[in-house]
Amino acid sequence: MGLSSYFPAPPLSEFVDQLWYYEGYSQPHAKERLLPDGSMELVFNLNEDQMRVYENNGEPRTFRGSLLVGAHSKFFVIDTAEQTTVIGVHFKPGGAFPFFNLPVGELQDEHVGLDTLWGSKAADLRDRLLEAPTPDAKFAILEQALLEQAAKPLVRHAAVAFALRQFSVTQSVSDVTGQIGLSARRFIDVFNNQVGLTPKLFCRVRRFQDVLRHLGKNTQVDWTRLALDCGYFDQPHFIHDFRAFSGINPTTYLAHRTDHLNHVPILD
């Protein structure tokens, strides 16, 4: 069947990029490296009630069949065998916090089982998703669960909403801080609590994502020009950040990239 997507209506659309469902995912490699993009993800394994995640030290962590992925500043590794039938929520940057009763900055570079956050509701929701006969029916169940779980009112802090808009056109944290009427320390705390990364780290991750988008399907790349176009001071600065976020160098990424910008096969 492949990939199906659903884009919710307001008010969820302000916080959720899309709901997605993948059936029949099969890869020749056993593991994939997932790269950070500044957002958070909620994932349900509908093939088995288990999910394994490999941190940077290579040690696996095992969770029940539903998992919240915090905003990351480094890669982690997934088991492709567990991606056969999965459904999930891709939150917009700063979009996950209303659905989980904690400052999401506590989840930076972390994974947590949904049962830890939602209790028995997590297993009940997964059971209903399993029973739903079609992708559209599954999306309707997941959308309703999010609406029921959402904090009221469903709004971002005004400073965070403003900063996220501004960071789409500028990477200067100081420029944005100077316009929002909060102290630098207070702004960092508010932003981190709702986005999951500090403003500076968020902008670095988004600049890294700009690089991946600029690469497109190009096979020949002027790395110095690309680095400057994406806001890096020079090529060493660019390579340092690329390795910090991905664990590999740019040419290795280019050689092994897939149609999914943030999924890189790990070849034995």
- pTM for the full model? 0.93
pLDDT at 120 over 70: yes
Given this model, what pLDDT does residue 56 score?
A: 65
pLDDT (tens digit per residue) in 128-169: 999 999 999 999 999 999 999 999 999 999 999 999 999 988
Structural contact between residues 223 and 250, judged by C-beta atoms closer than 8 angstroms: yes
Mean pLDDT on 185-209: 96
- Quote the pLDDT of residue 57: 60
Q: How high is the pLDDT of residue 181?
A: 87
Cα gap 185→182, rounded to integer Å: 8
Determine the pLDDT at residue 121: 97
Q: What pLDDT is attached to residue 8?
A: 97
Q: What is the mean pLDDT of residues 221-226?
A: 92
Distances (CA, A) of 68 to 40, 44, 180: 7, 9, 30
Percentage above 70 pLDDT, the chain: 98
Fill in the amino acid letter for 121.
Answer: K
**Annotated domain spans of the chain:** 2-149
Exposure of 74 by Cβ count < 10 A (0-12 exposed, 13-18 middle, 19+ buried)?
Answer: middle
At the top level of CATH, the class of 2-149 is mainly beta
pLDDT at residue 55 in the model: 73
More confidently predicted of 227 and 26 = 227
Lowest mean pLDDT among 101-110, 139-148, 175-184: 175-184
The pLDDT, as a whole number, for residue 29 is 84
Task: Give the per-residue pLDDT at 16.
Answer: 98
Q: pLDDT tens, 65-89?
A: 999 999 999 999 998 877 789 999 9
Mean pLDDT of 168-190: 88
According to the model, what pLDDT value does residue 83 have? 79
- What is residue 1's predicted lDDT score, i.e. its pLDDT? 59
pLDDT-derived band of residue 268, with 50, 70 and 90 as boundaries?
low
The pLDDT value recorded for residue 140 is 98
